[in-house]
Amino acid sequence: MASSHTVLMRLVASAYSIAQKAGTIVRHVIAEGDLGIVEKTSATDLQTKADRLVQMSICSSLARKFPKLTIIGEELVVWVDPLDGTKEYTEGLLDNVTVLIGIAYEGKAIAGIINQPYYNYQAGPDAVLGRTIWGVLGLGAFGFQLKEVPAGKHIITTTRSHSNKLVTDCVTAMNPDDVLRVGGAGNKIIQLIEGKASAYVFASPGCKKWDTCAPEVILHAVGGKLTDIHGNALQYNKEVKHMNSAGVLATLRNYDYYASRVPESVKNALVP
């Protein structure tokens, strides 16, 4: 057990450093002025030069430092999103963008690193850009100031670019005081832990395991909860399907309130 803990903390420390380097790459690509945008499956599913460079950097760095990572009992899995919020990145909504590195053991998300390359970018030309948030279950989450939405307020954060009738119906059923439509799963979880939103509601397939693994850990480490729309915990073992086909529901507090308001019509339409 001690050996496993040692490997995990070495991996978290390395992922933290790698995520900071990834943030620098993301900023450098913007500064160069050539995003190298290509469409993957549609006009809203994009890939940029930053996606490709960060993916290569993270994978090569982890492979070099942990050459046996993929065969540690086939129980430890790393889920990487090199650029979460790619569409927003291409449109200049830079505070939506994150780099995500999630670590799962026996199918459960246990450690996560979120780099926000353009944190503080609106603070002026002399501002220091970027921050890295990280967490380990049982240890805590670090790199931010935990805040909560005022009691009695119901503020929903949801997708900016992948909405549909199911998403709209589910959000409306929450009877929200306000709805924030932003990009990036990592960004939405940051909104929860920094008191900008009460619940992250995405009643649709589309979000993938590499979008939720790292953010889930950060949220769970401070007492929050992330599940699919049915209330099922997400699984992150190597064989699991990548798509979160039953959507995502996440809150910092009052999970039961939001879960109880998910319409049956939405649940029936989303198969786990």
| 45 in catalytic set | no
Q: What is the CA radius of gyration of the chain?
A: 18
Spell out the residues 6+ positions from residue 1 whose beta carbon is closer than 8 angstroms to its own: none
Q: Residue holding tokens 């999103």?
A: 81
d(CA 201, CA 69): 33
Catalytically annotated residue among 86, 132, 157, 159: 86
Catalytically annotated residue among 48, 51, 158, 212: 51
| 172 in catalytic set | no
Find out whether 74 is annotated in a ligand binding site: yes
Find out whether 84 is annotated in a ligand binding site: yes
Find out whether 83 is annotated in a ligand binding site: yes
Q: Please enumerate, by residue number, every residue annotated as part of a binding site for Mg(2+).
A: 74, 81, 83-84, 211
Residues placed in the known binding site: 74, 81, 83-84, 211
> Which residues are known to be catalytic?
51, 86
